[in-house]
Amino acid sequence: MSNDSPARNRGVMMITGGSRGIGAATARLAAERGWTVAIIYRDRLHDAQALVAAITAEGGRAQAIAADVADESEILRAFAEADRMGPLTALVNNAGVSGGASRVEAVTASQIDQVFAVNVRAAMLCAREAVRRMSTRHGGKGGAIVNVGSAASQLGSAGVWVHYAATKGAIDTMTIGLAKEVAAEGIRVNCVRPGIIDTEIHAFRPPGQLEQMAKGVPMARIGTPDEVAQSILWLADGELSPYVTASLIDARGGF
């Protein structure tokens, strides 16, 4: 039996936005490598249940927890539920919304509020709860936080979603600041910044546009959720990346 088998219990990894896309790919890979996975989802019950069933069928350990991470009380409830699964050793802040494609002059206050509530406020609150559990300062044994950012934080997403890009810039800053704050407390904090990935966030684009965009990527293709998940798991694994913290890792094919 390999060390990466589900029989090796690495503790609990909580993944927000875990029922589809990058989150679901990360959940599957984490379970394969021995984590018990707390899959946080908002309203994709069928997807979450199917993912748990697939993981358990392969001998892994997973539980789906419904929570709207834009609501602090639901974050607290989700963490309390995950506590019953075992000690938290990793958090993947993956939940995110685009806020809807819009030029700045047409964006509404509610769009801005929503995208910051989910992409920034929720990530910070989830990180707070993870630190309270994992920090040696609070009696924990350490762990890892991996934030899922975006290439948009550097590129700006002009003409499409500057409001979304702004939230991902905030995630970059939070990653660096929090990493330095808890570095001596056994917690590593890093960020993976995907580029053009084949997920539902691009569902608004007309047919053929993604393929056209791929021509501008040096690797000449768009990425997959599984490829991003590999980067996330590398950062979450304290044996593979023990001296890596406050790092922003680009997963964008050179774009």
> Which one from 90, 97, 164, 191 is the annotated catalytic residue?
164
41 as an active site residue: the answer is no
Distance separating alpha carbons of residues 255 and 248, to the nearest angstrom? 15
The pair of three-digit structure tokens given for residue 190, joined into one six-digit string: 């890093």
Q: Positive or negative, the Cα torsion across 147, 152, 153, 158? A: negative
The pair of three-digit structure tokens given for residue 34, joined into one six-digit string: 């021995």
Distance separating alpha carbons of residues 68 and 41, to the nearest angstrom? 7
Under a CB-based contact definition with an 8 Å cutoff, are residues 17 and 94 in contact? yes
The pair of three-digit structure tokens given for residue 224, joined into one six-digit string: 């997959």
- Residue with structure tokens 């039996």? 1
Three-class SS state of 32: helix
Under a CB-based contact definition with an 8 Å cutoff, are residues 241 and 235 in contact? yes
Active-site residues, by number, are: 164
